[in-house]
A and B are shown apart, each in its own frame.
Chain A
Amino acid sequence: AQTIHQWPVAEIKAVGSPLSLGCTIKGKSSPNLYWYWQATGGTLQQLFYSITVGQVESVVQLNLSASRPKDDQFILSTEKLLLSHSGFYLCAWSPGQAFSAETLYFGSGTRLTVL
């Protein structure tokens, strides 16, 4: 069975500090990977997606970057956090087939508070 693990569970960071969030998928080779951001009580906004190692597509610019250093790993980062980065970050995967955005499997999320 496939598992998805996100880390850390929660972070409290200062404005201007760096950030790195991670996500690992086990039990599935070559998945499509996604980062979503959710404001408190809000909907989900897709930030990045990746269909293969080393390739990441940006969907929306929020002064964040993403990388896929390994087939099963997706990293979200920034060098300088803004207050607006606060929220819930969700990593997700899909099977990596045509039209595979139809079904996503989400991690448990990282709650980020920027002070």
Chain B
Amino acid sequence: TQTVSQSDAHVTVFEGDSVELRCNYSYGGSIYLSWYIQHHGHGLQFLLKYYSGNPVVQGVNGFEAEFSKSDSSFHLRKASVHWSDSAVYFCAVSASSAGNKLTFGIGTRVLVRP
């Protein structure tokens, strides 16, 4: 069974600051890791994903994430946030052996202050 945890429920930053959102997973086999963003009252939008290869993956709107097998982590980063980045961010894991089940973390709510 794959699990994913997001240790920060809320993060507040100022516009122009950098931000890192943490995601840790537990699963022993081959997995896909991804990040999604949800603006208030809307559906989720895909940001980026990792399966293999370069552990640093680039996503949309300046987001990137780094996979670490030793830390069982897939943290999301952005160098300079904009007010429109205020949203809830979900980390998700899907195991190849688990078929079509994507397991989401509890989400991290990011508030970007002007």
Interface residues of A (CB under 8 A from B): 6, 32, 34, 42-44, 46, 49, 51, 57, 59, 90, 92, 94, 99-109, 111
B104 near A49 with CB under 8 A, answer no
A44's partner among B45, B96, B104 (CB-CB below 8 A) is B104
- Judged by DSSP, the binding face of B is mixed
B10 to chain A, nearest CB (A): 11
For residue A104, which residues in chain B have a CB less than 8 angstroms away from its CB?
Answer: 36, 44, 46, 102
B 56-96 to A, binary, CB cutoff 8 A, 1 in contact else 0: 00000000000000000000000000000000001000101
| Chain A residues positioned under 8 Å from B42 (CB to CB) | 108-109
Contact B43 A44 (CB under 8 A): no
Contact A101 B44 (CB under 8 A): no
| A-facing residues in B23-66 (Cβ within 8 Å) | 32, 34, 36, 41-46, 49, 51
- We find that the number of chain B residues with CB closer than 8 angstroms to chain A is 24
Question: Which of B43, B49, B107 has the most chain A CB within a 10 Å cutoff?
Answer: B43
Distance (Å) between the CB of A75 and the closest chain B CB?
A: 18
User: From B102, which residue of chain A is reached at the shortest CB distance?
Assistant: A101
A94 surroundings in chain B (CB, below 8 A): 100
Contact B32 A32 (CB under 8 A): no
Q: How far is the CB of B95 from chain A (nearest CB, A)?
A: 9
Which residue of A99, A105, A109, A111 contacts B46 across the interface (Cβ within 8 Å)? A105
**Interface status of B114 (Cβ within 8 A of chain A):** no
A99 touches B32 (CB 8 A): yes
From known contacts A99-B96, A102-B94, A106-B44, infer whether A46 and B51 are also in contact, taking CB-CB under 8 Å. Answer: no
3 closest residue pairs by CB, A with B: A106-B43, A102-B32, A101-B94
How far, in angstroms, from A103 to B49 measured CA to CA in the complex? 8
Chain B residues with Cβ below 8 Å from A46 are: 101-103
